[in-house]
Amino acid sequence: MDTSVLMSRWMNEKATATKITYEASLAVFAKWMGIADHSEAIERLIRRGSLHAEHTLVEYQADMLREGLRPNTVNGRVGMLVSILLYAKDTGAIDWVIRVRQLPLDGEISKEGLRGKLARIDPKLVKRDDKKGIRDRALFSIAQLPGIRRGEIVGLDIDDVNLAENIILVGKGKRHTRWLRLPVDTAAYIEEWLQCRKDDVAALFLGMSNHGGGERISGSGVWKVITRQAKITTITAKR
């Protein structure tokens, strides 16, 4: 598919206000690439292939930070380019995808307090196979998705998960509503968790304690679960 046609179709799916924002962001990216036309800039990005395209976007991300742009602006511009590449793959124009780690924002689960804890946690190493262990594997895997906030994890409902397409809807009812793609392992952990559920609560993740539970997990509950597992992982690694 011609890149200009691909870009036109991708852009036509957007709301008017979004189109204006994206056109401005595409012009900035084209200028950074040293090209006048943004369709040509995207075509050159695609021609670089998955590895070089990913390196290009990481460099672009770093340059914007050096210019003093706010993380949410940088994430928005890079996320837009990744979205174009995902659309190109979905339409058969390319057969690869790339991932660029988003920068942490205020209030994100990826900010310094929890980032180090999550980095030490591998969901596959959660050995418990009881209901709490199955939930924790799914929760840790979701928490490691790029850009997701603790409050967004709390607000997830079962209906937000589409396992047929391996995507999940986060940020409902806010400006940052978006679909995130689920890695295969993450989708499997969620499916395992849903299969062991015997309740009709809408929330995806439930709080569980010795004093009952069965209701939507709280933000402090997410923090405690991650902190506890990070401590276990650290102790195990020292043995």
CA distances from 128 to 124, 135, 210, 216 (A): 10, 10, 16, 21
Instruction: Provide the token pair at 238.
Output: 């020292």
Mean pLDDT of the chain: 84
224, containing H or E segment: helix 219-238
Please say if the pLDDT value at position 52 is more than 50: yes
Please say if the pLDDT value at position 233 is more than 90: no
Q: Which CATH number fits domain 112-238: 2.40.100.10, 3.30.70.3190, 1.10.443.10, 3.30.365.10?
A: 1.10.443.10
Q: Which residue has the tokens 């691909």?
A: 6
d(CA 239, CA 41): 51
Q: N- to C-terminal Cα distance for the chain?
A: 55
Residues 6+ apart with CB under 8 A from 13: none
pLDDT of residue 236: 44
Q: Is 216 helix (H, G, I), strand (E, B) or coil?
A: strand
pLDDT in tens, 71-124: 788 889 999 999 999 999 999 999 998 888 777 664 444 444 566 676 667 777
Q: Where exactly are the structural domains of the chain? A: 3-90, 112-238
